[in-house]
Structure 1
Amino acid sequence: MTSVADLLRDASIRLRASGVESARIDARLLLGEAMQREIWPHESGPVTPAQLACFEDLLARRLTREPVSRILGRRAFWTLDLIVGPDTLDPRPDTETLIEAAIAAFADREPPNRIIDLGTGTGCLLLAALSAFPAATGLGIDKSKGAVEIARTNAVRNELSARAEFQTIDWDELPQDRGDLILSNPPYIEEATLSALAPEVVQFDPRDALSGGADGLEAYDSLAGVLPRLMAPQGIAILELGAGQRSAVETLMIGVGFAVQEVRKDLGNIERALVLKWNDTGDGGLDLRHLCLE
């Protein structure tokens, strides 16, 4: 009978040969799914024929570079267990930087009562923020009906549905609302560079959730038009940034009346979360570019 150790060794070799960098951990996760339990790194116990057949089916999908999260249909994000689907971006650890920034932004003030998530996808940002601010209610919007259905399911799955509302609508069409905290992870990849992304991204994430147009800034242009009417007077907005986009996005947001409170880096040392507040200095835009926290 085949052993766990033999399977993990063989699968890791095959995955690395196909270009998968996280070969060993991916093999463990897929074998765990096949055996319906956690697999420890140095296990050597037996694997039944039925478990082996299931594992080979899962492994064949990963060898095509389908992400583990999409094979399993779920992804851990912050403290949440989320389902993912073909209409949603696969939530990534980098995006958790926005939740860290939100907690820091409200550390010395009253927590937010109303949270708005623009382009909610799986609902990961809104639901994580609601878990961090237990007195708040929130609205997540997305133009994809499929994404909104998944976000609603995730709210129920994580026992947050009583405080979370989701609507299928473009953020340009959102009726009047005021958020104490506004979150958004907009599409920001330059259209011409999409084909160079990893197969896990370009082949399996929805293109609309990736492409930011020719310069990667189309969604930020749109956000600059809607944020001023959505943010409460003492509110905070936190936007995810692509690598190297800080200066351009800052310029857009300062131009519509915001000031930069913080720019927070992710674990890869990329400037990832742009924290905005209203500019009440009367100077046409407070430039706080020296404030960059890790």
Structure 2
Amino acid sequence: MERGELQGGPRSLPEVLAQATVCLERAGVQTPRLDAQVLLAEACRLSRAGLLTRREPLGESEAERFDAMLSRRMRREPLAYILGRKEFFSLDFEVNSHVLIPRPETETLAGAALDFLRARGEARVLDIGTGSGILAVALAVNEPRARIVATDISPDALEVARRNALRNRCADRIAFLPSDLFPPGAGRFDLVVSNPPYIEDRLIDDLEPEVARFEPRAALAGGVDGLDFYRRIGARAKTWLNPNGALMVEIGAGQGTKVAEILARFGLEVVAVLSDLAGIERVIHARA
């Protein structure tokens, strides 16, 4: 769509929505009508329900905002980056191109970690590769007794994570540190969590354009076999965990057996392999 295509005069919202849906469908977007509704609601500063009851045509400034957002989505930029936010664990998070977009599968890891912390009581937690901070923030909000250290090698990602902690009013319980995995001098932890890069390098370019072209490659690429970070984390985990401490990591589909073998090789006892809501093995829980 050429910029300005929606600005030829007053247009009813149903007309604009129908046209945008066709544009997104032709661009290969998987959910064209839903995405068009979300973007139109954002441009009009309405809820999606509000779109159904509004009778006024699209105003000029609204058309300009919608045109710009629609053009970005037609280029397959992720909806979350266009909106600048994404929900995770019933919390609202800022996201941009410096961080991965939160996935619902990661709520399996957040839920397992939260169960562990509630049973443990006061605990020190390390979140490796925090990205936008979704795990650290979700744990801090839902278990205020936890004291959390969150690391990332990307300064830009850490800035997003810090803002998300402020956004969700838990910044006083999370220390964000620049580090490649484990933070030097931070002491031992009762729980280490991580959603590390786990996609095989050769597969990244074949992923959906939203992922391959827009999400940070460093947060996706797990090496030749996708398992590099499990080896790096597993090799050092025992020296960073307190007695009976736990390591919980998210894994990709079909990686359960191999990741469990890697962790066992480094002296960790695999306690459980947890599946997500789709029945796919998603989290490995190991003990020091």
TM, length-normalised to structure 1: 0.89
Distance in 2 of aligned mates of 1:201 and 1:227: 30
User: What runs of 5+ residues in structure 2 fail to find an aligned partner?
Assistant: 1-9
Q: Deviations over 1:170-210 (max 9, x none)?
A: 12553342222211010011011111111111111111100
% identical aligned pairs:
37
Determine whether 1:223 maps to 2:233.
yes
Distance in 1 of aligned mates of 2:59 and 2:79: 22
Distance in 1 of aligned mates of 2:145 and 2:221: 35
Equivalent residue of 1:117, what SS?
A: strand
Determine whether 1:53 maps to 2:85.
no
Aligned to 1:245: 255
Equivalent residue of 1:171, what SS?
A: coil
Equivalent residue of 1:232, what SS?
A: strand
Determine whether 1:85 maps to 2:96.
yes
Contact 2:129 2:151 in 1 (8 A): yes
Q: Deviations over 1:51-110 (max 9, x none)?
A: 122111100000000011111111111122111122211111111110122233355x33
Determine whether 1:5 maps to 2:41.
no
* Residue from 1, 14, 25 that aligns with 1:16: 25
For 2:36, the aligned partner's letter is A
Aligned to 2:48: 39
Contact 1:115 1:138 in 2 (8 A): yes
Contact 1:119 1:143 in 2 (8 A): yes
Q: How does 1:98-117 map to 2 (within 5 A)?
A: 98-106=109-117, 109-117=119-127
Q: Aligned in 2, Cα 1:173/1:140: closer, same or farther, shift over 3 Å?
A: closer
Equivalent residue of 1:19, what SS?
A: coil
Q: CA deviation at 1:241?
A: 0.2
Distance in 1 of aligned mates of 2:121 and 2:22: 49
Q: Aligned in 2, Cα 1:32/1:12: closer, same or farther, shift over 3 Å?
A: same
Determine whether 1:124 maps to 2:134.
yes
Count of aligned pairs: 277
Equivalent residue of 1:187, what SS?
A: coil
Q: CA deviation at 1:42?
A: 4.0
* Residue from 96, 105, 108 that aligns with 1:97: 108
